[in-house]
Amino acid sequence: MKLKYIFSLIVFTVLSTKAEKPIYLDLNQPLEDRVEDALSRMTLKEKVNIIHAQSKFCSPGVQRLGIPELWTTDGPHGIRPEVLWDEWEQACWSNDSCVAFPALTCLAATWNPEMSALYGKSIGEEARYRKKSVILGPGVNIYRTPLNGRNFEYMGEDPYLAGEMVVPYIKGVQSNGVAACVKHYALNNQELNRHTTNVIVDDRTLYEIYLPAFKKAVIDGGAWSIMGAYNYYKDQHLCHNQYMLNDILKGEWGFDGAVISDWGGTHNTEEAITNGLDLEFGSWTNGLSNGRSNAYDNYYLADPYLKLIKEGKIGTKELDDKVRRVLRLIFRTEMNPCRPYGSLCSDEHYAAARKIAGEGIVLLKNKGNVLPIRSSMPTRILVVGENALKMMTVGGGSSSLKVQREISPLEGIRNCAGNNCEVRFVRGYVGDVTGEYNGVTTGQNLKDDRSPSELIAEAVREAKGVDYVIFVGGLNKSQHQDCEDSDRAGLELPYAQDDVIEALADANKNLIVVNISGNAVAMPWVKKVPAIVQAWFIGSEAGNAIADVIFGNVNPSGKLPFTFPVKLTDVAAHAVGEYPGLKRVNEDIWDEQYGEGILVGYRWHDTKNISPLFAFGHGLSYTTFAFGKIKSNRNAISGDEKVTFTVPVTNTGDVAGAEVVQLYISDPKCSVMRPAKELKGFAKVFLQPGETKEVSLEIGKDDLSYFDAGKHEWVVEPGEFKALVGSASDNIKSFATFKYN
Ligand code: GLC
């Protein structure tokens, strides 16, 4: 008996040690040990397989080792519907409808990092529930021209605001074990010629304007992946670019995540191997011709790469680095068993969408306090305009969604108006009656064959007999509007909306214009319209959020994340910036000199004294605020010391509201040209009527520095600086001077 027992004990011991969990599967092991262990077990073919796609949106794991596939999904505002294996078309599932959150321009317009954290957590939960491990977003390309078709997906013209607002989004997403994939890195500031534009920009501008938001995303946000852009920089595509990916992203910033190509952004095997690309998606190549599907083994980082290695023309050093980064991404997401399970279309997500939208809507003008409409009295309201009806979650490119619901502005206004109000609707204008993207249709029949003059006549007739007219117009998600892969033709509103607005202004003094767009638009009628609301593309709860503001259930607190110019030639990119670039002779490459340098947006307007239509940081409230004088805790700092500025803000009105205190730094005497002022701090403060709070903002040498391209480092020149505090870039309340020694 004893012998038998001893024998079985030996067998058990041997077996249990044999079955000991491999390090890469042992969750208690450090991440890097797991990566090295998995790498050491992979064959050459498995390593090459894992660094490129096997379908439209997923890349293979290592089946033999139980390392799962990596599933990516668009987009920054909501989780794209499931598509067919190798198609853009949706797969017509019945359980993949989502919540559409506001577009990121609206999130930026909240100037509230807490909203960004709520946004990231919520959208990350939707991605997690849909079993996606990489969200292809957020985008933080700087708003350089109001013609860029994709500005609605980004966070405005200021690198400090975009950087501060992108970090909580990333952390919120990644708290779900889902990777953010910050895009499009970098210099993708227009859609026209997006694959062929070679951006020429000086280093100081690159480091001061176009990189900071990405740098914060990596260093402060800890982004687990980055998406390379389509365009060129220094004649190399951004998806395999020595300077941007190896030198800056992985070198200077120490990025340890994976660089994912934009879909179709990879063009060259050798460059893709050596210039920093880690994961190739969306290439249409079967030997360099476009369009063949299921050509995954022909990807640049597939068989062509394997062939070079087998022929001894290249080693596996780069390959192992790529594989490490992809494994790290998989271990942080797919193989992170501690991650939550997510949720989809929950009440919390709708509430989040509505709250973010309500905080991002910007009250641009409110002469005579036309708004909010008090629906306690019997009120007749006429709503005019196609955008009061038109679904905006379908279209616009890869950020297009299949939503569970989208409340239109008209529905929202009707929901909120209550029984005292009679709400009528007339079309006003006909814009784009289509409504389909990748097989997702709006189901709306917007067809209307009447002429513009008939439509305007009807609107004017109806407008004369009501208490309020709410015109809901702006842009939409069609080509040459707010839409990927095309830019706008001009700053003007399309579909002759200006004529409708002018006619309505003459017909009714209580005209409210609600502009739905992700870009600035020209407003030639601005003096004739008493109330103007910038309502963005705000997703599933659009109508409810707009109505909340119109009827005063929400006191607007949004601030513009980009300048509204009076005319296009007031914009630096069009005044001196060479947009859209100059085509090379005999080459399909457009060189575009960012001649305006660091003077982008308000930096240009302030420094050149060009008055904007509405300024960066502008946004009104239904209450009023008073700023006390700015104070500082010290008059001089040196080295790494910080100075704290405090300013008391009082709600001097009779409703609760929120103000965004903005702190700009000016360096009046410097050996190099510097903008008149630059945003270096902000805080949103919520105040009850009569309440005062002290807002404190800290400034250190990084906030005072400029990038010295010659030295390739940030420099702060000793001397006097100004700290200007205000409620908008064109509304400075007071300033303090201090020294940096
Ligand atoms: C698109 C976009 C990118 C998107 C990707 C996948 O072309 O540029 O933002 O995530 O392809 O749809």
**What is d(CA 470, CA 484) in angstroms, rounded to the nearest whole number?**
29
Asked if residue 21 has pLDDT above 90, the reply is no
Please give the order of strands across the beta sheet that includes 590-593.
Answer: 236-237, 232-233, 197-200, 590-593, 582-583
Q: Cα–Cα distances in Å, from 654 out to 55, 329, 624, 688, 690? A: 57, 51, 8, 8, 8
Q: Three-class SS of residue 687?
A: strand
- 78 in Cβ contact with 120 (< 8 Å): no
Single out the catalytic residue among 262, 570, 606, 667. Answer: 262
Whether residue 33 lies in the annotated active site: no
Name which residue leads in pLDDT, 71 or 298: 71
Helical ranges in 446-522 per DSSP H: 452-463, 497-507
Pairing of strands 379-384, 468-474: parallel
Is the bond preceding residue 580 a cis peptide, omega within 30 degrees? yes
Query: Is the distance from the beta carbon of residue 46 to the nearest atom of ligand 1 less than 6 Å?
Result: no
pLDDT tens, 125-175?
Answer: 999 999 999 999 999 999 999 999 999 999 999 999 999 999 999 999 999
The predicted model gives 287-305 an average pLDDT of: 78
Query: Is the distance from the beta carbon of residue 262 to the nearest atom of ligand 1 less than 6 Å?
Result: yes
pLDDT band with cut points at 50, 70 and 90 for residue 376: confident
Q: Cα–Cα distances in Å, from 476 out to 356, 388, 394, 482, 519? A: 20, 11, 10, 6, 10
Query: Is the distance from the beta carbon of residue 141 to the nearest atom of ligand 1 less than 6 Å?
Result: no
Question: Of all protein residues, whose CA lies closest to atom 7 belonging to ligand 1?
Answer: 263
**How far apart are the CA of 263 and the centre of ligand 1, in A?**
6
Mutate to test the pocket of ligand 1, among 56, 262, 284, 484 (most ligand atoms within 8 A of CB): 262
Question: Of all protein residues, whose CA lies closest to atom 10 belonging to ligand 1?
Answer: 136
**How far apart are the CA of 99 and the centre of ligand 1, in A?**
20
CA 716, 722, 724 angle in degrees (round to 5)?
125
Asked if residue 664 has pLDDT above 90, the reply is yes
The predicted model gives 713-732 an average pLDDT of: 98
- 528 in Cβ contact with 502 (< 8 Å): yes
Q: Cα–Cα distances in Å, from 3 out to 7, 8, 13, 15? A: 6, 9, 15, 18
What is the structure's pLDDT at 136?
Answer: 98
pLDDT tens, 96-112?
Answer: 999 999 999 999 999 99
Mutate to test the pocket of ligand 1, among 57, 71, 74 (most ligand atoms within 8 A of CB): 74
First-residue to last-residue Cα distance in the chain: 86
Asked if residue 14 has pLDDT above 80, the reply is no
**What is d(CA 307, CA 504) in angstroms, rounded to the nearest whole number?**
68
Query: Is the distance from the beta carbon of residue 182 to the nearest atom of ligand 1 less than 6 Å?
Result: no
Query: Is the distance from the beta carbon of residue 406 to the nearest atom of ligand 1 less than 6 Å?
Result: no
Residues 6+ apart with CB under 8 A from 398: 74, 75, 80, 136, 263, 484
Nearest to 537 by CA among 17, 88, 151: 151
Query: Is the distance from the beta carbon of residue 183 to the nearest atom of ligand 1 less than 6 Å?
Result: yes
- 417 in Cβ contact with 67 (< 8 Å): no
Q: Which amino acid is residue 477, in one-letter code?
A: K
**How far apart are the CA of 561 and the centre of ligand 1, in A?**
23
**What is d(CA 353, CA 46) in angstroms, rounded to the nearest whole number?**
42
Name which residue leads in pLDDT, 687 or 4: 687
Query: Is the distance from the beta carbon of residue 80 to the nearest atom of ligand 1 less than 6 Å?
Result: no
pLDDT tens, 458-493?
Answer: 999 999 989 999 999 999 999 999 999 999 999 999
Asked if residue 294 has pLDDT above 80, the reply is no
